[in-house]
Structure 1
């Protein structure tokens, strides 16, 4: 099983433009945005969440917070487990929302920490893994995207291709650090609501989770959200291993979304898997459009997240 497929298996979430968006990544116990319905969908799984990363202050991305916090304080689970909420630093609307929650849900049984975060800031998850915030482009608001990055080691370029005995000799004389270098690997990139991200942000990501609100560019009156075509072109240029599209406008049918993705695959000879979330119920599932089946026929498959 590829790493990108393993990552997709561990994402669950929901997204419908204007109504609700949230995504839970189980291995790192983190939540990207917290739209309505999350507590209903996850139920006691909410106790597995240690950190929430908010992309921006629109209601469809933060409207689920009151129910989430109330449920976490009173449902069947570890009600004393701390929770940290990260949000775009300086966003006064979110701070006002925080004040409302402090007043309406007093005396929480767990420590709730609110932490403002700016582009380039990093939050450590494990010894070799962290979340990094980056600026996104959405309606001129304070808006962030987030990516999970893993620090890895690899053989330095000048030592690649050397015989094993030569490498052992260098290690004995200079230490293992002499032949290895650290590099950062993009595991999962979450765009939040945005126009197409810069290629450098998502370069060679295992999974790019990108806004694709519009099927047709002519339907976009302002530069606020990406189109399916733009997200696919970004994934091609950035050489990602897998693309997951979300935040479709309710003006489009499931068939229109699927047909547009299939068109992009055919016209661009796309070889990486494209997943898309077209929800009708909680919890939502990601669907995947396969490039080719073994029999050479295109097919679609539901991949329950």
Structure 2
């Protein structure tokens, strides 16, 4: 499936990504409706990774322009109290947004956005909490298909038809899920296999420096470093990589040079795209990868 992905992602300021054909918005930072204009009306589902303001303040204008009965559906980490407060405020501030659905989600939930498309929340490590408290999430967008069971694949059509008549169609098929898009949200790399077999992975890479060069503050939320992301990619199967959420302390030249150097170091040959600080990119995958 060809996807048109547009976005903006600068650490501290704003992050959002539109998966246009799917009607899905990942995070909702400031400025998204000004950049998307009428395309913002294609958004049916919004998946928020966490309650940092640079990931949610675009919801006010999005809902004002896009609210209708039952949509958009805004999914957020189950134990984040910011979203119920925001819902209550918006319903008072703008009664026209009362049709919007606010949905608390957690790992184990499945949000069906189309008959063959489900979004699965994944706990991540951005916010340090007890394991039962969910305040930060990543997401997988999975395409779901029914395929004939391998043991029945060689049977003639007449035989399959007979089995269906005798035992029902469900006895002949199995569900197959394909990870179309993985979205990390803000998080350090903790599980090297989490994004294996992703068609497209959108991953944050706030810092270019190694761990020793970045001052990490224990009580602050945690982010990825570019090298740990690229090392992870070298060990799993991902078809295309989009990097974002870079700190504005880095220049475009620093970012691109670091990506190219790490692609060489880890022998990464898949297309790698990036969102530079301060720039909105429309149809990211139609551009040239950094490592072409």
- Superposed counterparts of 1:90-109, under 5 Å: 90-105=79-94, 107-108=95-96
Tell me what 2:270 maps to: 272
Tell me if 1:30 matches 2:28. no
CA offset digits 1:40-87 (Å, max 9, x no partner): 1011222111111111000100111222223336xxxxx667322111
TM-score by length of 2: 0.84
CA offset digits 1:175-232 (Å, max 9, x no partner): 5866653221100011100111524432201001111111112225147111111112
Aligned 8 A contact 1:154 1:183 in 2: yes
- Superposed counterparts of 1:1-305, under 5 Å: 3=1, 6-7=2-3, 10-72=4-66, 82-105=71-94, 107-108=95-96, 111-140=99-128, 142-154=135-147, 156-157=149-150, 168=157, 171=160, 174-175=163-164, 180-217=173-210, 218-222=213-217, 224-283=222-281, 286=284, 288-289=288-289, 291=291, 299=292
Q: CA RMSD in A?
A: 2.5
Aligned 8 A contact 1:246 1:278 in 2: yes
Q: Distance in 1 between matches of 2:60 and 2:265?
A: 45
Q: Which runs of 5+ in 1 are unaligned?
A: 74-78, 292-298, 300-305
Q: Number of matched residues?
A: 276
Q: Distance in 2 between matches of 1:71 and 1:172?
A: 50
Give the superposition deviation at 1:101.
2.1
CA change 1:190–1:220 in 2 (3 A) is farther
SS at match of 1:234: helix
TM superposition outliers: structure 1 runs of 4+ over 6 Å? 176-179
CA change 1:243–1:109 in 2 (3 A) is closer
TM-score by length of 1: 0.81
SS at match of 1:86: strand
Q: Distance in 2 between matches of 1:285 and 1:185?
A: 22
SS at match of 1:95: helix
Give the superposition deviation at 1:174.
3.6
CA change 1:232–1:11 in 2 (3 A) is same
Which deviates the most, 83-92 or 16-25? 83-92
Q: Which runs of 5+ in 2 are unaligned?
A: 130-134
